[in-house]
Amino acid sequence: MRNEILEQYLPLTPEEKEELKNKKIKKHHVATVFLHWFNLFVWITELITGAALIVSINYRFIPKFLTDIVDGVYGTRANIIKTHIFVGVIWAFVLILYALFGWRRYLKPTLKQIFFITKDDIDWLKTKFEEVALNKKVHYPPQDSYNGGQKLFAQVVAIMVPVIIVTGFIMAFHLLPPALIRWAIIIHFGAVGLVVMGLSVHIYMALLYPPEQEGFFGMITGYISEYFAYHHHYKFWRKKKKGLDAPPELEPKKDWGPIFAGIFLGVVLFFSYYLTGFGLGASGFFQRTLIAVLGAFAPEAVKAHPYMGHYWGVYPLWNFLVFMGFGLVGGTLAAMFFAHHKFRFRIERGKNITDIQRLVLSVIGGIIVGFATRIAGGCTSSQALSGGAVFSPSGWIFMLALFAGGYLAAFIFRRFWK
């Protein structure tokens, strides 16, 4: 590769073109990828439920048959409202966590990029218009990690998302007088409308416009080819090749000792009883989430089921265990950021077992444990920890059986971990 192309954008020779096509370059961190697809799920859910709630005798925001479909899926309009609020609260919670714990490494650098508009960004917007609208053959000016169009859309999102969150909380929990709540509704709909307009262009460019489609797959894997980066994000590619974009590495902090962690867990358990009247629990979160998902597709079957129907009388996600489950995930991520640990997906296994075998055994073990927790009336959190804390006989019996079964299983399967 010629050194001069690191200083100036130049046409590539066939050999250089082929070389760059066969190389991958990391463009998105795993946290960015997760947040992108999490936002997609949230916006699909919120747009469907939000649009279905806009009903008037004078007009319809969406066709009646779509409203009927949403009503049929959720059962009642009250469930639609609860879902809209619930997903919105979780969305706001995740974004706030991301802002707090990813500020220095992720959010601050991103905001600096998207709000720093250069002449090349303006020229890119003009060039894109000439290519798409006038069907001209064009040459784009060099761009950074985000091109001019992506920056413009990101600016709209960065400004409108806080507006959507604040007005949404005002509407959902009636935090202001009625007159101001009515203004919050108008502002909320306007902010959502601006994001949706930009989102429609964003989706078209990512999915349907061939020159940009590799960027879509880059948001799945986190990587793009160096050839795509060279042509679409030359400034970003040049920084990568020169090593100018490397974030400062932070040394992982020492983990807490088991005694201190146990005391802190006891404090959390105490406040759980004090604030909610119940202890900790994990299996109830998965159980209620599964019932809610099944009920979204087959509400009548869930309602008629002798076990699941018991939880369908009240919307299953409207429960403290569900909020506790999301809090557990958020708290784990927060602890990871505080401890400076890197977030990565990996399969923990011993040397004498393959990844596939490990996953198969994990699934089988998960099914057995999930079935057992429903028979026992709780998992290690609710039965052993919460039950044991209040000296419940079933909790202590469960805990003793848990240790006995754990030691027996370890004796049988320990060879896989050697």
- Span 35-83, pLDDT tens digits: 899 999 999 999 999 988 887 777 777 788 888 888 888 888 888 898 8
Per-residue pLDDT at 412:
81
Average pLDDT over the chain, rounded to an integer: 84
- Give tens-digit pLDDT for 28-41: 888 888 889 999 99
Mean pLDDT of 160-170: 94
Question: Can you give the pLDDT at residue 1?
Answer: 59
Distance CA(91)–CA(38), nearest Å, equals: 8
**Res 190 pLDDT > 90:** yes
pLDDT at 191: 95
Chain CA centroid to CA 306, Å = 33
Among the ranges given (225-239, 311-325, 372-386), the one the predictor scored with the smallest mean pLDDT: 311-325
The predicted-structure confidence for 293-332, as pLDDT tens digits, reads as follows 888 778 888 888 888 887 776 677 777 788 788 777 777 7
Measured CA to CA, the distance from residue 379 to residue 366 in angstroms comes to 12
Mean pLDDT of 213-233: 88
Instruction: Give the pLDDT band of residue 248 (cuts 50, 70, 90).
Output: low
CA distance 330 to 416: 32
Residues in the chain, overall count: 418
Q: What is the DSSP letter of 390?
A: T
What percent of the chain shows pLDDT beyond 70? 93
pTM here is: 0.64
- Are 250 and 49 in contact, with CB atoms under 8 Å apart? no
Confidence at residue 186, expressed as pLDDT on a 0 to 100 scale: 92
Task: Say what the pLDDT of residue 84 is.
Answer: 92
Position 171 scores a pLDDT of 92
Query: What are the b/e assignments for 344-368, b being 16+ CB within 10 Å?
Result: eeeeebeeebeeeeeeeeeeeeeee
DSSP string, 144-206: -SS-HHHHHHHHHHHHHHHHHHHHHHHHHHT-S-HHHHHHHHHHHHHHHHHHHHHHHHHHIII
- Asked whether the predicted pLDDT for residue 247 surpasses 60, the reply is no
- What per-residue confidence (pLDDT) applies to 244? 61
Q: Is the pLDDT of residue 340 over 70?
A: no
| Region 251-280 average pLDDT | 80
pLDDT of the residue at 78: 86
Q: Which amino acid is at 115?
A: F
Q: Which domains does the chain have, with CATH numbers?
A: 11-242 (1.20.950.20), 250-345 (no CATH), 350-418 (no CATH)
pLDDT of residue 163: 95
pLDDT tens for each residue of 118-160: 999 999 899 888 887 888 887 888 889 899 999 999 999 999 9
pLDDT at 270: 85
**Band (195; pLDDT cuts 50, 70, 90):** very high
pLDDT at residue 338, as a whole number: 67
- The half-sphere exposure of 45 on its side-chain side, counting CA atoms within 13 A, is 22
Tokens of 329: 């995930």
Question: Is residue 222 very low, low, confident or very high in pLDDT (cuts 50, 70, 90)?
Answer: confident
- Percent of the chain scored above 90 by pLDDT? 17
Region 376-381 average pLDDT: 80
Instruction: Say whether pLDDT at 251 is over 60.
Output: yes
Checking if the pLDDT of 3 tops 60, the result is yes
The predicted-structure confidence for 83-96, as pLDDT tens digits, reads as follows: 899 899 989 988 98
- Per-residue model confidence (pLDDT) at position 70: 84
| Res. 161 pLDDT band, cuts 50 70 90 | very high
